[in-house]
Amino acid sequence: MFKKILIANRGEIALRVIRTCQEMGIKTVAVYSTEDHASMHVKIADESICIGNPSPKDSYLNIPAILTAAEITRAEAIHPGVGFLSENAKFAYLVEKHNIKFIGPSSKHITIMSNKVLAKKVMKKFGMPVLNDSSKNINNIREAICIADKIQYPVIVKASTGGGGKGIKVCYSKKDLQSNFFLSQEESKINFNNDQIFLEKYLECPKHIEVQILSDSFNNVIHLGERDCSLQRRYQKIWEEAPSPTIEKKIINELGKKINNAVKNIGYEGIGTLEFLFENNKFYFLEMNTRIQVEHTVTEMITGIDIIKEQIRIAEGRKLSFSQSDIKLRGHSIQCRINAENHYNFTPSSEKVTFYHPPGGMGVRIDSHLYNGYSVPHQYDSMISKLVVFGNNRKECLLRLRRALNEFIIEGPLTTIPLHQKIMSHKDIQLGTFNINWLEKWLRKQVKMNTA
């Protein structure tokens, strides 16, 4: 069992990992930038060490500084959290080379799954359904036009590495492709230091469904059901729920068996999430995230399983605590991502929190690093809180969510709480019939109404 773990991250996810470590009797080390010296994860960790200036490249992406911090504090393992270096194969490799356990899969599996083209090839080999695509990276516009004609429009241009909606362009014609091809390459180069892109068939109205898996070193693999992450703005999730409100359990169970088989065949070890598009009762594999997901909370609420705890246990070389037959899904859970943003135009709002009152009561969970007097920095992701609610069914869950949003007070920075309050009353949200394009269309209507 690990005695001390360093958390190579910040904010609510660092706090989330620290809390589980404390409940497991494991000492923790927080790393922080000079901007984050007063952050909550620094305050509650057993030890803390500054690793650089506010810029991520000087701190949370600074591999030598993080490894040095681990050696100085004699940490036995490093938990990468979400974002930053969590899916960086070089980092995972160097951590292991320093005789420190990386709490995640091997650098080999991170390398495979961080490349969307390669990941699709591997998973297709073991039975995962995929969309028609270029099956390789594309380097010039002539080749792209030829492949698009075979796939048939509309097509989507994607960065082969990275995520967060960067480098993604939808093309309905040859003219669109000609204008967007180089834009996608440039965006990918800027954000991921890699200009490789590929083409894929574009679905007009799919849902975005993901499945959480756990896999130990004894080749035991289980899945924890699905999450519906279809409410998105610019391919960034803002609302997630489990289970999906509209997909039949039978279809999910069939997919789960295929997933378990594929993950077992590639010899994956750790936790992960397989992401799919779902349209006309068919699933299409998109990618696999080799880390904890922001939205892992809703799965925890309906399974009663601490996924971070299982992730640490797997890294320690232990067997999974349960088998697939032990997994029983109960009730419904929804998570709203609360960002420090103007909910009209989504510009970041980096201000001091003058008053903070999170909601409470049965079935309400808040994952946040906020407190009265905390100053929201502008250098990092704008998500400042996750509001998670649970109900015995989806109707109860929605009613509880409404109540919790009305209770939630954050003064100082502008937040997206009003956005969630508005959309949850829409009939499509109430029925669960939204898709990945629903929010963008709704937002455009709001702009027209406000400018009319």
Catalytic positions are 291
Beta strand pairing call for 47-52 and 101-102: unpaired
CB neighbours of 247 closer than 8 A, spacing ≥ 6? 207, 209, 226, 228, 278
Asked if 376 and 340 touch (Cβ cutoff 8 Å), the reply is yes
Asked if 87 and 110 touch (Cβ cutoff 8 Å), the reply is yes
SS3 50: strand
Q: Is 193 exposed, middle or buried (0-12, 13-18, 19+ CB in 10 A)?
A: exposed
Cβ-based neighbour number of residue 331 at 10 Å: 16
Q: How far apart are the C-alpha atoms of 85 and 39, rounded to whole Å?
A: 19
Q: How far apart are the C-alpha atoms of 251 and 279, rounded to whole Å?
A: 12
Please confirm whether the linkage preceding 358 is cis (ω < 30° from 0).
no
Q: How far apart are the C-alpha atoms of 358 and 354, rounded to whole Å?
A: 13
